[in-house]
């Protein structure tokens, strides 16, 4: 093992302890768990608690504010939401508001909070988000400090060259870093190839994470911002930004190139584990369903685990790791004879215990597709979206809503 790899492994061990201590310090007090069983609530509602009548999506849970998720909707969620465009909300608080008040004059999306919810990133095409108007409506990543209301522009430029567009931000749980995808503006004004960057919130510096010679997208960032996972050229990579080392996670069992494409990286808080989707059949033993599956790579041990679906031919995809790396949320759908709609599941990785998350009010499976799970720090809360009408009582809007399912914990807790 190289000195750089040894340093990364040691740093991950330290990060586990640091993350645990910090999470304990910033996480809010939790009520005693309900021993009766899991509960599901609709998160995308207006300030009176009523359902919305337009789709809601783009959910992302904070690790600390466990039962609160960001989401995107055209609302309106509150009486001041009059722009008729998509806005980003954290609970019922608008994140993508214009300056000095009101809503943005362009669409916003892609909200992503840190553990405490203090820093929340989003993408907007509005020109009135900050006190200094943006020169045009190019998609830009912003970060809102919810404690003081200050907004910073994360994707302004890199080494003096402005970004043509930016998308898909992720905020580290320590509220100090943002990873995002962006393309630099070329000399002729066109956009170059997308790459992954990391922004430091407190001094505004931007660093290139991915290789400069290849397209890259869909990043995931560790608790302290040191590690960033992303997809590029059909593979998933993890960059250690302290040492500069780059490790491929989507490798075949013999260490060679995989025989399929991998994407959708989700990184644990300490940067040790990365989950991703792949069509490859040679990443782990027993992969015989001929479709996409979720895999979890232990970068320290150099091992890859296959996450099987609910049946032999079922696929698994849209991997989402809990911050502590103990639980994995994902979507599974059975194919062929006996096909079933995609549903969200949660698996305890140490035991293999699996629960249906997108359960209806009777405990059965959702009747319309559920997708894009997001999981909190310890796997006790999962957010997802679905147009199913029977996940909560009184759902009559016929559109996608964002739901949050809370699982009971502790002795005697039921998981039915």
What does 72-100 look like in DSSP terms, one character per residue?
EE----STT--S-S-EEEETTEESSBPSS
Q: ω before 100 within 30° of 0 (cis)?
A: yes
Whether the predicted model's global pTM rises above the 0.85 cut: yes
pLDDT of res. 344: 98
Longest CA–CA span in the chain (Å) reads 64
Residues 6 or more apart whose CB falls under 8 angstroms from that of 144 comprise 95, 96, 119, 120, 121, 122, 150, 151
Contact yes or no for 175/198 (Cβ under 8 A): no
Strand segments, DSSP code E, in 270-314 are 273-278, 293-298, 303-307
Digit-by-digit pLDDT tens for the chain (416 residues) are 444 455 565 556 555 444 443 433 333 333 344 456 899 999 999 999 999 999 999 999 987 766 689 999 999 999 989 999 999 999 889 999 999 888 999 999 999 999 999 999 999 999 999 999 999 999 999 999 999 989 999 999 999 999 999 999 999 999 999 999 999 999 888 899 999 999 999 999 999 999 999 999 999 999 999 999 999 999 999 999 999 999 999 999 999 999 999 999 999 999 999 999 999 999 999 998 899 999 999 999 999 999 999 888 899 999 999 999 999 999 999 876 556 899 999 999 999 999 999 999 999 999 999 999 999 999 999 999 999 999 999 999 999 999 999 998 753 344 43
Strand segments, DSSP code E, in 159-216 are 161-171, 177-184, 195-200, 206-208
Q: Measured in Å, how far apart are the chain's first and last C-alpha atoms?
A: 45
pLDDT of res. 21: 35
pLDDT of res. 27: 36
Q: Is 7 helix (H, G, I), strand (E, B) or coil?
A: helix
- If you ran DSSP here, which 8-state letter would residue 403 be given? E
- Tokens representing 206 are 């931007």
């Amino acid at each position: 093992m190289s000195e750089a790899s040894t340093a990364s492994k040691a740093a991950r061990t330290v990060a586990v302890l640091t993350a645990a201590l910090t999470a304990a310090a910033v996480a809010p007090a939790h009520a005693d768990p309900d021993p009766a069983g899991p509960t599901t609530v609709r998160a995308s509602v207006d300030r009176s608690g009523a359902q919305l009548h337009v789709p809601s999506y783009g959910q992302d849970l904070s690790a600390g504010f466990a039962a609160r998720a960001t989401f995107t909707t055209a609302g309106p969620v509150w009486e001041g939401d009059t722009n008729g465009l998509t806005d980003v909300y954290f609970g019922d608080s608008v994140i993508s508001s214009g300056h000095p008040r009101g809503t943005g004059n362009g669409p916003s999306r892609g909200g992503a909070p840190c553990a405490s919810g203090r820093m929340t990133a989003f993408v907007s095409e509005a020109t009135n988000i900050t006190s200094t108007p943006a020169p045009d409506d190019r998609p830009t990543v912003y970060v809102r400090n919810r404690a003081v209301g200050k907004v910073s522009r994360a994707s302004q430029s890199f080494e003096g060259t402005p970004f043509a567009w930016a998308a898909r931000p992720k905020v580290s749980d320590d509220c100090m870093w943002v990873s995002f995808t962006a393309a630099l503006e070329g000399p002729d004004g066109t956009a170059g190839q997308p790459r992954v960057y990391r922004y430091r919130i407190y001094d505004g510096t931007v660093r290139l994470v991915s290789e400069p010679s290849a397209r890259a997208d869909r990043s995931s960032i560790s608790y302290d911002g040191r590690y960033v996972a992303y997809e590029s050229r059909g593979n998933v990579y993890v960059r250690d930004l302290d040492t500069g080392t780059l490790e491929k996670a989507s490798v075949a069992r013999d260490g060679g190139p995989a025989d399929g494409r991998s994407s959708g990286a989700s990184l644990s808080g300490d940067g040790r584990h990365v989950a991703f989707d792949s069509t490859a059949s040679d990443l782990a033993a027993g992969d015989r369903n001929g479709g996409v599956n979720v895999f979890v790579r232990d970068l320290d041990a150099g091992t890859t685990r296959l996450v099987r679906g609910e049946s032999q031919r079922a696929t698994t995809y849209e991997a989402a790791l809990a911050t502590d790396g103990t639980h994995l949320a994902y979507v599974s759908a059975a194919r062929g004879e006996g096909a079933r709609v995609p549903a969200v599941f949660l698996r305890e990785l140490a035991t293999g215990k699996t629960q249906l998350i997108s359960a209806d009010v009777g405990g059965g499976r959702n009747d319309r597709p559920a997708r894009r799970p997001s999981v909190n720090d310890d796997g006790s809360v999962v957010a997802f979206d679905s147009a199913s009408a029977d996940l909560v009582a009184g759902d009559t809007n016929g559109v996608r809503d964002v739901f949050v399912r809370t699982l009971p914990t502790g002795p005697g807790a039921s998981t039915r």
